[in-house]
């Protein structure tokens, strides 16, 4: 989403909002207050889970859609009046103990480090599968499909770099090039999903997996205009949780594995956690809870070195927009871009609002992959049969625009999820596989050096990307056995 974030607030005729005004797609009709969710150590785990669902959805729907006025009113409804100031003398001993031993004393860095490193792993997990499918397409064939897959792979690299920007903004060193940062294929994304992601040749099966990876959070999307001008658990009692640790990393990861089903939903939860720690930092510094976005935007947990930020002029890739981060506003822009490119912005099939796009109407990843799978473009199609009275259609609606020719047979028959161990009996293939993995590590090393402050290293990535394609094709064009050809393994190289 490349819309400008609204910083100024305007006077509202009615300062009080109903829940429907700031809780689009609410999950819980009556949730505990945000104040209680953050500072009350006596709430049950069930109440914490339901409150987390409600408030994370509310906050992300407001801030990631630039509804700053409504967010300010939401904060005031949760923290306003007499409860904005919390002098300990007005609280019971139990309540004071809860505040002292609860979220205010939890070190945010280990929690955000794990959650954001997991975001890097999610983005990283998609890059080798997308590149594998791309490289497996034989030269001169499936030009349009190749362009689509390549554009998505480049944007996933952009997403990974922007998550690194968020980590550096909150003084957490990102890691992308160590053995633990490498996905092992086939793998499951660290979400509540029932499919595996693997290294496979270009096929309807691999594209179907990519569609599953990029699935939107919302079941409905605005139908594109037909005449659009296009070019090609058990409830815990309060007594049992008087000194609870509900905000621990273990509880958060358990919540994610049970309640988060899409990458977009994962970023919503991570964004909420960042906001929560920023609220607590404000409270600890000022002795009161914040009332406006402006109070939360700067300072607090945003103590990182600006020299470690990757900026637009330093990014080698095309497609998408890279945002540096030095405040909450930057996190919003990063997550808008990531979510918009993946599943669509403003309930549309585009990665930006089609009425405001600057560089042409570009579809979100989910819809780009559906075009390849169904061999048709979206734009130019008639979606009236799929559309309800509000102009919304199910995200599962297939594209019915002009044809997008696909030759599913024009790809190398690569063995799914190859390993270096498969090449031990063939010294030539083993050497080629090792060389590919060394080049891929050099690519990740360049990104790592850049996010550590040596931003000039990022320019080397262009050279490594070209080398990767050549080395991958060298593997894929050679038979491994009577059924399959060899392929890149994307494993951490031996000897490092």
Residues 378-426 pLDDT 10s: 988 999 999 999 999 999 999 999 999 999 999 999 999 999 999 999 9
The answer to whether position 68 is within a domain reads yes
- Final residue belonging to a domain, choices 303, 326, 341: 303
Helix (H) or strand (E) holding 221: strand 220-222
Q: Please state, in angstroms and rounded to a whole number, the distance separating the CA atoms of residues 266 and 273.
A: 11
Angle (CA) 155 450 169, round 5°: 80
Q: Is 50 left (phi over 0), alpha (psi -120 to 50) or beta?
A: alpha
The answer to whether the CB of 269 falls within 8 A of the CB of 217 is no
Residue 165 lies in a domain: no
Closest CA to 77 of 31, 9, 46, 25: 31
Q: Clarify whether residues 104 and 246 are in a common domain.
A: yes
Q: Spell out a b/e string for 315-335, using b for 16 or more CB atoms within 10 Å of the CB, else e.
A: bbbebbbbbbbbebbbbbbbb
Q: Which of 10-19, 87-96, 303-312 has the lowest mean pLDDT?
A: 10-19
pLDDT tens, residue by residue, 322-354? 999 999 999 999 999 998 887 766 677 887 544
- Residue 263 belongs to a domain: yes
Can you name the residues that pair with 197 across neighbouring β-strands? 187
User: Is residue 433 within 8 Å of 476, Cβ to Cβ?
Assistant: no
State how far the Cα of 382 lies from the Cα of 216, in Å rounded to an integer.
22
Instruction: Please check whether residues 105 and 245 belong to one and the same domain.
Output: yes
Within 10 A of 303 (CB to CB), how many other CB atoms are there?
11
User: Phi and psi (nearest 5°) for 81?
Assistant: 65, -140
Q: Is residue 182 a part of any domain in this protein?
A: no
| Residue at 176 is within a domain | no
Query: 119 near 163, Cβ under 8 Å?
Result: yes
Q: How far is CA 457 from the centre of its chain?
A: 25
Query: Coil, strand or helix: which one is 399?
Result: coil
Q: What pLDDT, on the 0 to 100 scale, is given for residue 25?
A: 40
pLDDT digits (tens, 9 = 90+) for 262-308: 999 999 999 999 999 999 999 999 999 999 999 999 999 999 999 99
Instruction: Say if 458 falls within a structural domain.
Output: yes
Task: State how far the Cα of 41 lies from the Cα of 351, in Å rounded to an integer.
Answer: 40
Q: Look at residue 239 in the predicted model and tell me its pLDDT.
A: 31
What global pTM score does this model have? Answer: 0.86
Q: Which long-range contacts link 89-97 to residues 24+ away (Cβ below 8 Å)?
A: 94/41, 94/42, 94/242, 95/40, 97/41, 97/243
What is the C-alpha end-to-end distance of the chain, expressed in Å? Answer: 39
Decide if 392 is inside a domain.
no
Contacts of 174 (CB under 8 A, 6+ apart): 116, 117, 120, 163, 164, 167, 168, 448, 451
In a domain, 156, yes or no: no
pLDDT at 316: 63
**What is the structure's pLDDT at 342?**
79
414 within 8 A of 200, measured Cβ to Cβ:
yes
Residue written as token pair 């509880």: 251
Decide which of 259, 287, 303 is a domain's last residue: 303
> Which of residues 303, 328, 344 is at a domain's end?
303
Percentage of the chain modeled with pLDDT above 90: 68
- Pair of tokens at residue 29: 């009709």
Total number of domains constituting the chain: 2
More confident residue, 220 or 243: 220
Q: How many CB atoms lie within 10 A of CB 56?
A: 24
Better-scored residue on pLDDT, 218 or 211: 211
CA angle 86, 83, 36 (to 5 degrees): 90
Q: pLDDT tens for residues 48-79? A: 999 999 999 999 999 999 999 999 999 999 99
Q: In what helix (H) or strand (E) does residue 220 lie, and over which residues does it extend?
A: strand 220-222
DSSP three-state, residue 65: coil
Local confidence band at 357 (pLDDT 50, 70, 90 cut-offs)? very low
> Which run of H or of E encompasses 255?
helix 249-259
What domain range includes position 458? 418-496
């Amino acid at each position: 989403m490349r819309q400008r974030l609204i910083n100024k607030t305007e006077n509202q005729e009615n300062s009080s909002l109903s829940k429907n005004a700031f809780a689009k797609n609410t999950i819980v009709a009556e949730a505990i207050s945000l104040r209680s969710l953050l500072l009350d150590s006596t709430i049950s785990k069930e109440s914490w889970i339901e409150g987390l669902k409600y408030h994370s959805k509310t906050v992300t729907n407001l801030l990631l859609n630039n509804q700053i006025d409504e967010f300010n009113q939401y904060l005031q409804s949760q923290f306003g009046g007499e409860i904005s100031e919390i002098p300990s003398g007005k609280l019971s001993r139990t309540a004071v103990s809860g505040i002292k031993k609860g979220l205010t004393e939890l070190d945010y860095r280990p929690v955000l480090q794990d959650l954001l490193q997991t975001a890097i792993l999610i983005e990283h997990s998609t890059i080798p599968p997308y590149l594998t499918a791309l490289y497996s397409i034989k030269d001169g064939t499936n030009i349009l499909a190749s362009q689509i897959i390549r554009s998505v792979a480049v944007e996933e690299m952009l997403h990974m770099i922007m998550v690194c920007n968020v980590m550096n903004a909150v003084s957490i060193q990102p890691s992308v090039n160590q053995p633990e940062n490498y996905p092992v294929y086939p793998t499951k994304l660290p979400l509540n999903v029932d499919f595996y992601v693997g290294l496979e040749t270009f096929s309807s099966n691999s594209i179907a997996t990519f569609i599953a990876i990029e699935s939107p959070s919302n079941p409905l999307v605005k139908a594109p205009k037909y005449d659009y001008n296009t070019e090609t658990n058990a409830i815990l009692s309060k007594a049992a949780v008087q000194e609870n640790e509900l905000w621990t990393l273990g509880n958060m990861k358990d919540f994610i594995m049970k309640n988060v089903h899409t990458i977009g939903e994962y970023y919503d939860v991570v964004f909420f956690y960042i906001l929560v720690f920023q609220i607590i930092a404000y409270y600890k510094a000022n002795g009161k809870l914040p009332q406006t976005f402006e109070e939360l935007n700067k300072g607090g947990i945003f103590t990182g070195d600006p020299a470690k930020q990757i900026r637009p002029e330093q990014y080698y890739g095309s497609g998408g927009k890279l945002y540096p981060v030095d405040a909450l506003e930057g996190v919003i822009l990063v997550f808008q871009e990531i979510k918009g490119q993946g599943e669509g912005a403003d309930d549309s099939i585009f990665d930006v609002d089609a009425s405001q796009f600057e560089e042409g109407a570009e579809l979100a990843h989910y819809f780009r992959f559906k075009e390849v799978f169904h061999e048709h473009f979206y734009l130019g199609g008639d979606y009236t049969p799929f559309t309800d009275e509000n102009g919304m259609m199910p995200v599962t609606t297939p594209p019915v625009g002009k044809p997008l020719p696909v030759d599913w047979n024009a790809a190398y028959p690569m063995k799914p999820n190859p390993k270096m161990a498969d090449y031990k009996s063939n010294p030539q293939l083993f050497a080629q596989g090792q060389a590919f993995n060394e080049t891929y590590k050099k690519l990740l090393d360049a990104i790592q050096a850049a996010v550590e402050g040596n931003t000039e290293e990022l320019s080397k990535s262009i050279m490594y990307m070209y080398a990767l394609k050549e080395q991958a094709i060298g593997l894929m064009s050679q038979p491994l056995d009577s059924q399959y050809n060899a392929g890149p393994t994307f494993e951490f190289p031996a000897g490092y």
